[in-house]
């Protein structure tokens, strides 16, 4: 086994462990952000007895396994979703890192190589943000505009890293522009023609031609749909074309379904699964 392969295996394992830690932090974010609480201060505690958790209770994934899914202090069950999110984040980080193992940075390598490695770090951060957005929408049945802003910020950071390799700038911008234009085109069609509730055909076409469907889209009750649509466009732009293809297809199909209120909690999951699948099967242009 050569040194390069050993280095790649160790680096991938490091990314996986880092994913466990980030997954644990995401559990905090998913619980606190919708409640308007800080994510950088305060101690974790048992949701049943309120006992402050110690270091041995907070080892990502392993604490839940060794404690057999129960609180050390009161014996109450601990939801398995915490361990699942930690394990999922670990798995995604490791898969993305191994698939892009040629981007691992050797100390002393040119700044161009460092920039490429940092693009992998940005992709990992984007994955974590998408997971958090997915779970918050599932739990609270609403999205948050701040996650779309976060996606855009991470994309801009990726664009800035392109300045270390100017030959990559044009492909990055072209890829992002294609995904943005296609996603906006899909959303425009959906906003105008996609029904939000079951209607008689005559009423449906009347709403389309009178512009009522557009007004209904921007009404207060449809805020979750708007936040999901914006997040969809932001994520597609950030991962670029063709990585966005699965997300573009799946989201368009789901958003054309009637009674969309039933599907709202799952729009984030659809975006997350299809976008992460896309960057896995179509790597290389932006990430």
- Band of the pLDDT at 201, cuts 50, 70, 90? low
Mean pLDDT throughout 52-74? 76
pTM as predicted: 0.89
List Cβ neighbours of 220 (8 Å cut-off, separation of 6 or more). none
**What is the CA 136 to chain-centroid distance, rounded?**
11
Q: What pLDDT band is residue 222 in, cutting at 50, 70 and 90? A: confident
Instruction: Say whether the peptide bond before residue 242 is cis (omega within 30 degrees of 0).
Output: yes
185: nearest Cα among 239, 248, 143, 234: 248
Lowest mean pLDDT among 30-39, 42-51, 91-100, 153-162: 42-51
C-alpha pair distances (Å), 66 with each of 22, 59, 70, 131: 20, 10, 9, 25
The distance in angstroms from the start CA to the end CA of the chain is 28
């Amino acid at each position: 086994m050569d040194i390069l392969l050993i280095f790649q295996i160790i680096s991938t394992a490091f990314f996986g462990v880092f994913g466990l830690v980030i997954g644990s932090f995401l559990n905090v974010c998913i619980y606190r952000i919708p409640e308007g609480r800080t994510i950088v201060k305060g101690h974790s505690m048992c949701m049943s007895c309120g006992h402050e958790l110690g270091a041995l209770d907070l080892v990502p994934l392993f604490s839940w396994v060794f404690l057999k899914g129960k609180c050390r202090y009161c014996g109450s069950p601990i939801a398995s979703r915490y361990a699942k999110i930690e394990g999922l984040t670990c798995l995604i980080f490791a898969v993305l890192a191994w698939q892009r193992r040629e981007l691992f940075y050797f100390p002393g390598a040119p700044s161009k190589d460092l920039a490429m490695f940092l693009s992998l770090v940005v992709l990992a951060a984007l994955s974590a943000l998408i997971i958090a957005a997915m779970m918050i929408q599932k739990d609270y049945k609403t999205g948050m505009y701040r996650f779309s802003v976060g996606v855009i910020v991470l994309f801009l950071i990726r664009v800035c890293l392109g300045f270390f390799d100017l030959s990559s700038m044009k492909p990055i911008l072209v890829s992002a522009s294609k995904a943005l234009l296609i996603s906006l085109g899909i959303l425009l069609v959906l906003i105008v023609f996609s029904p939000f509730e079951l209607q008689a055909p005559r009423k449906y076409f009347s709403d389309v031609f009178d512009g009522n469907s557009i007004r209904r889209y921007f009404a207060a009750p449809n805020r979750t749909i708007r936040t999901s649509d914006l997040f969809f466009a932001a994520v597609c732009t950030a991962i670029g074309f063709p990585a966005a293809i699965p997300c573009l297809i799946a989201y368009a199909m789901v958003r054309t379904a009637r009674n969309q209120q039933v599907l709202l909690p799952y729009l984030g999951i659809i975006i997350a699964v299809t976008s992460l699948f896309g960057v896995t099967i179509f790597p290389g242009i932006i990430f």
